[in-house]
Amino acid sequence: MMNMTGSQTIEVIKELTGHSGCSVQLCLRGDRYFVRKISSSPSYNIRLKRQADKQVALSRFIPTPEVYIVGEIGELAYFDMEYVRGHGFISFAPLQSVKGICDIVESLCASISSLAATRTQDLEAVFFARKLDELARTVPASPFFAAHESFLDQTIDTLRHKPWKGVPKTFCHGDLTVENMMLKDNGGIVFIDMLDGELESVWLDIAKLLQDLHSGWSLRSLLWAQEPAPSDRLLRTLTRYLADEIETQMARNLPQFAILSHDLRALQALRVLPYVKDAVTFQHVVSGLKELTIMKEFA
């Protein structure tokens, strides 16, 4: 970690979009920009520090912002990291040539392969059991659950009875979506906003990414409109192309993943539901789950 201590005043330039309720700020010290992520509450401090440690560890395998310092302000933990100059997927991808999109796919698959190579053992099935037990409590607590009760109960019950064998334990991002990527002009990717947890596997990263691309979760403000603009429909085409290309490469490079792909994608979709704040979004996620069920039946 780089030493960022000093007496220079820190200026907060902009509040960025935070995840897990954390505050994320673009800051300036002297002539140097950096990003500060601040815990949402004292009870979240331990998780935030774990995420900083994870970001440092992942930097050995995939591009991540350099972590400068981890500390506390009052009762809240924070860490400062490199400010990455890049582009968001929404603004960058539609402007790329076919080669540019292929470069993005190549960068993604190279990073996935790097993480897959860190396999040490298989994840214990008890981790999946605990997560599904948690979802069996938290998903029905949603105010939008009742309209989809039968389907969701059946989906959770089906997943709870899966053996969950053969999922590798690896280094992983933890929340791999296009929203959590910074795209460089050369097609390279810097990964941001890692999450920690028991289900640490690149297979879950792949499942999260595919579900994100197929459902349009990260791009929902554009793609889930009743009448998407022509530029948004192009974005929809690009996300489906990326998903197809990634699935093709995963089938070739990680053939065992394909066996559990639908189940892992369903698990990742269910994990979103307790955090959904409106009925329309809840409906979209459930519709994506139903499409997965149909796809698996006819696979």
- Domain 10-82 in this protein, CATH class: alpha beta
pLDDT at residue 7 greater than cutoff 70: no
The neighbouring-strand residues paired with 87 are: 183
Q: The dihedral of CA 285, 290, 296, 298: what is its sign?
A: negative
User: For residue 197, what is the DSSP state?
Assistant: -
**Model confidence band, residue 4 (pLDDT cutoffs 50, 70, 90):** low
E strands, the chain, are: 10-16, 23-29, 32-38, 67-73, 76-82, 121-122, 168-169, 181-183, 189-191
Whether the domain at 10-82 and the domain at 89-297 fall into the same CATH topology: no
Separation CA 294–CA 269 (nearest Å): 15
Mean pLDDT of the chain: 91
**Model confidence band, residue 296 (pLDDT cutoffs 50, 70, 90):** low
Residue 116 · residue 61 · CB < 8 Å: no
Tens of pLDDT, residues 109-159: 999 999 999 999 999 999 999 999 999 999 999 999 999 999 999 999 999
Separation CA 286–CA 288 (nearest Å): 5
| More confident of the two residues 234 and 110 | 110
For residue 65, CA distances in Å to 8, 73, 275 come to 22, 21, 27
**Sequence ranges of the domains in the chain:** 10-82, 89-297
Residue 36 · residue 24 · CB < 8 Å: yes
Separation CA 199–CA 167 (nearest Å): 10
Residue 287 · residue 281 · CB < 8 Å: no
The mean per-residue pLDDT over the stretch 161-186 comes to 94
User: Which CATH fold topology does 89-297 show?
Assistant: Aminoglycoside 3'-phosphotransferase; Chain: A, domain 2 (3.90.1200)
Separation CA 80–CA 5 (nearest Å): 11
